[in-house]
């Protein structure tokens, strides 16, 4: 009996963890509500009289009278939808930022992306902006949104171990995301949301000016390397990210840590990619 109770508690923990990962992290009530019991206690409604079910037709004079219509409900404001005007504003703000501090301030004041309306924090970056290695993922998750830092959950802990494996840590690398605000429920960002945030991450890369760029996952690689190839075909092959000022930065697409947590057998592929990165950095410093 004790074992069965323990298993039951484990199942509940798994369910709660699932809800947390899905973004359902706020309770509607302090106590649980049994909807089935409430429905059973509700008195049955008496059958509707036949006269109401089949009302007699109204006299012609009454039918000719105009029935007053209820007042229209006030229009609700439409949610912010990314469009070309907002993308142009993002490009303008990003281009004016002369430092990372100015870029962060511009992003914090930018209201043109609807993801900002549901996110708790702007997730700008973490690590050393003077580092010669920059890693870019796709978008923050729940833990990142709460702390305002990229890669701090399970994926972040795996990324830290991957960096240590090549003699690096967050003091010798700079980490950011294409999207700086968490999509609700960790859903995939839409192409519009990605395009509207693209100027900010491109300017961020340009200001950091790393010797090597690592694209963590397919969305980062496709956005910053202008390709439609899948990550399993891209990974392990050096590409080039070209900044707005024309600087060519060697880029290594690799597998996202979240994918590696789901597919541990592919960690060996990511290890090969990170070894390539280590060798490229060593050659650049020689």
- Walk along the chain (286 residues) and give the pLDDT tens digit of each residue: 444 445 556 666 665 665 555 555 555 555 666 666 655 665 555 554 544 445 555 555 444 445 555 555 444 444 444 478 999 999 999 999 999 999 999 999 999 999 999 999 999 999 999 999 999 999 999 999 999 999 999 999 999 999 999 999 999 999 999 999 999 999 999 999 999 999 999 999 999 999 999 999 999 999 999 999 999 999 999 999 999 999 999 999 999 999 999 999 999 999 999 999 999 999 988 7
pLDDT for res 42: 58
| pLDDT in the model for residue 76 | 44
Q: Where are the domains of the chain?
A: 84-281
- Tell whether domain 84-281 is in CATH 3.30.70.2740: no
pTM of the model: 0.72
How far apart are the two ends of the chain, measured CA to CA in Å? 66
């Amino acid at each position: 009996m004790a074992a069965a109770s323990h298993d039951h508690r484990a199942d509940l923990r798994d369910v709660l963890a699932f809800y947390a990962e899905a973004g359902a992290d706020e309770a509607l009530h302090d106590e649980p509500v049994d909807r089935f019991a409430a429905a059973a206690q509700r008195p049955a409604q008496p059958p509707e009289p036949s006269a109401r079910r089949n009302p007699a037709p109204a006299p012609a004079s009454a039918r000719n009278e105009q029935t007053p219509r209820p007042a229209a409900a006030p229009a609700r404001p439409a949610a912010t939808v990314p469009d070309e005007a907002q993308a142009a504003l993002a490009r303008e703000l990003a281009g004016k930022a002369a430092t990372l501090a100015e870029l962060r301030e511009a992003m914090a004041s930018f209201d043109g992306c609807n993801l900002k309306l549901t996110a708790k924090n702007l997730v700008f970056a973490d690590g050393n902006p003077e580092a010669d290695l920059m890693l870019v993922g796709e978008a923050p998750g729940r833990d990142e949104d709460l702390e305002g830092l990229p890669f701090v959950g399970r994926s972040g802990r795996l990324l830290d171990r991957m960096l240590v494996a090549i003699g690096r840590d967050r003091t010798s690398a700079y980490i950011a995301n294409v999207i700086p605000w968490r999509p609700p429920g960790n859903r995939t960002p839409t192409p519009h949301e990605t395009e509207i945030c693209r100027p900010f991450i491109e300017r961020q890369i340009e200001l950091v000016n790393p010797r090597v760029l690592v694209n963590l996952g397919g969305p980062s690689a496709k956005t910053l390397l202008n390709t439609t190839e899948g990550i399993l075909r891209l990974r392990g092959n050096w590409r080039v990210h070209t900044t707005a000022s024309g600087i060519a930065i060697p880029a290594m697409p690799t597998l996202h840590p979240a994918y590696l947590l789901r597919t541990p057998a592919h960690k060996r592929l990511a290890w090969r990619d990170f070894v390539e990165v280590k060798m490229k950095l060593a050659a650049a410093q020689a």
